[in-house]
Amino acid sequence: MTTTTTTTTTTTTTLPRPELLAALVAALLGCRPVVETPPEQAPTVAVPEDSRPTAPVRPAPVVALPDFAELAARMGPSVVSVVSRLPPEPGRKSRRPRHGVGSGMVVRADGQVLTNHHVIADATSFSIEYADGQQVAGRVVYSDARLDLALISPEVAEAERPVLTLSERIPRAGEWVMALGHPFGLGDTVTVGVISGLARDHEDLGHPEELDPDGVWSFIQTDASINLGNSGGPLVDLNGEVLGLTTAVRADGDGVAFAVPAVMARKFLDEVWTHGRFRHARLGIDAVELDDVPGPREVVRVQRVAPEGPGARGGLRTGDLILAVNDAPISRLSELAYIGRLSGVGVPLALQVQRGPTLLAVSLIPDEAQLTPPAGG
């Protein structure tokens, strides 16, 4: 409401009494009674609620999606199809051989391919089909059921192949990933999603039959679509580095898939190229998981210490609680086994151990496990 002030002149004008003027204004305009302002004070103007200053409205951030097409084009030449010849299915009248299709990735310029063990485990023979369409007979360099990893090679290397890079970093939940492979024999298939979780073990996967229950598992979980035939294919980040090998899905789930971490795949390749086999680390202890101890999580307790083994040499005792390995808290046997395998034979492990009320630091140096039957082949 605008108030107009009239300047008085020398002419005297008779005005209504103040109290009558206030009442008249209130009656006509529905306002509060007007209180006269002292001459020395400036008049106060009321500001409507909807016109008061407010914080500026910030526009929503603009987020650009990754260029998945460019990423797929860059990764595609290094992804292969592994076609296996399988024996006839037991119990069926037909004696025709069967065929299976899996995926893999080139890890050496001479055409060597990394894939899952279960892709070629039952094959009587198999071939490798490269992205350029060339299909060649393959052979096993080394295969390990306990890691579900296999290194295969063309019988004859005929061309130099583009190689994928295996990442050395641990991925983070929520980051973008792309899976490449040949689900159901459909070549050059790409799917995208995010990392959904880390450190999943055999129990988390629902105990799939194709994986060794005695295996060493710390899977990456993703919601990227993974299907039969994707096994062995790469799961890559936005930089084109391999974070894992797509391996399995939950049979009772939807969008719950798993990959062997690239850091374990790197360890596998280093061991095979250096020693001709993967040397499984032995800690020399038997342990169990406990969930009936005070605290927010399960712990691992030592049940037995093998005489003169790595655990005994490090000073572990029956009843010790292993709380952390190399500064990583653990609550599962699978975590202890995985860190030991990843660290390797002869590499010290720093254990945080609780013995009664006392916390101890124990250094344990694994030796090589003698596996029966031996892993590989």
Greatest Cα pair distance, the chain, in angstroms, is 126
Q: Evaluate whether residue 246 is within a structural domain.
A: yes
Residues 225 and 142 both lie in one domain: no
Residues 294 and 233 both lie in one domain: no
Q: Please count the structural domains in the chain.
A: 3
Q: Evaluate whether residue 45 is within a structural domain.
A: no
Last residue of a domain, one of 275, 304, 328: 275
Q: Evaluate whether residue 32 is within a structural domain.
A: no
Per-residue pLDDT band for 66 (boundaries 50, 70, 90) equals confident
Q: Evaluate whether residue 350 is within a structural domain.
A: yes
pLDDT, position 93: 66
Neighbours of 48 (CB within 10 A): 6
User: Which of 81, 84, 103, 118 is flagged as catalytic?
Assistant: 118
Element of type H or E holding 313: helix 310-314
Residues 117 and 77 both lie in one domain: yes
Integer CA distances (angstroms), 367 to 1, 204, 218, 334, in order? 90, 29, 21, 18
Residues 287 and 357 both lie in one domain: yes
User: Which of 84, 143, 148, 343 is flagged as catalytic?
Assistant: 148
User: Which of 81, 153, 218, 231 is flagged as catalytic?
Assistant: 231
As given in the structure block, the two tokens for residue 87 are 């024996």
Share of the chain above pLDDT 70, in %: 80
Q: Evaluate whether residue 50 is within a structural domain.
A: no
Residues 145 and 72 both lie in one domain: yes
pLDDT, position 30: 36
Residues 6+ apart with CB under 8 A from 215: 145, 146, 147, 148, 202
pLDDT, position 158: 77
Q: Evaluate whether residue 59 is within a structural domain.
A: no
Q: Are the C-beta atoms of residues 302 and 316 closer than 8 Å to each other?
A: yes
Angle at alpha carbon of residue 146, lines to 145 and 148, rounded to 5°: 55
Q: Are the C-beta atoms of residues 369 and 337 closer than 8 Å to each other?
A: no
Residue 14 clears pLDDT 50, i.e. is over it = no
pLDDT, position 152: 97
CB environment 81-101: b (16+ within 10 A), e (fewer) = bbbbeeeeeeeeeeeeeeebb
Residue 19 clears pLDDT 50, i.e. is over it = no
Query: pTM higher than 0.75, yes or no?
Result: yes
Q: Is position 118 annotated as part of the catalytic site?
A: yes
As given in the structure block, the two tokens for residue 147 are 């890691």
Residues 287 and 329 both lie in one domain: yes
For the segment 297-336, what is each residue's pLDDT rounded down to a tens digit? 678 999 999 998 999 999 999 999 999 999 999 988 999 9
The better pLDDT of the pair 158, 234 is held by: 234
Reply yes or no: is the peptide bond before residue 373 cis, omega within 30 of 0. yes
Q: Is position 125 annotated as part of the catalytic site?
A: no
Mean pLDDT of 131-155: 95
**Residue 296: domain span:** 281-367
Q: Is position 231 annotated as part of the catalytic site?
A: yes
Residues 198 and 239 both lie in one domain: yes
As given in the structure block, the two tokens for residue 19 are 């109290």
Per-residue pLDDT band for 8 (boundaries 50, 70, 90) equals very low
Residues 118 and 96 both lie in one domain: yes
Angle at alpha carbon of residue 182, lines to 277 and 148, rounded to 5°: 25
Per-residue pLDDT band for 94 (boundaries 50, 70, 90) equals low
For the segment 204-258, what is each residue's pLDDT rounded down to a tens digit? 887 777 788 888 889 999 999 998 889 999 999 999 999 999 998 887 777 899 9
Q: Where residue 113 sits, what CATH number does that domain have?
A: 2.40.10.10
pLDDT, position 341: 94
Last residue of a domain, one of 97, 121, 154: 154
Residues 148 and 205 both lie in one domain: no
Mean pLDDT of 193-202: 92
Burial of residue 317 (CB within 10 Å: 0-12, 13-18, 19+) is middle
Last residue of a domain, one of 89, 122, 154: 154
Residue 18 clears pLDDT 50, i.e. is over it = no
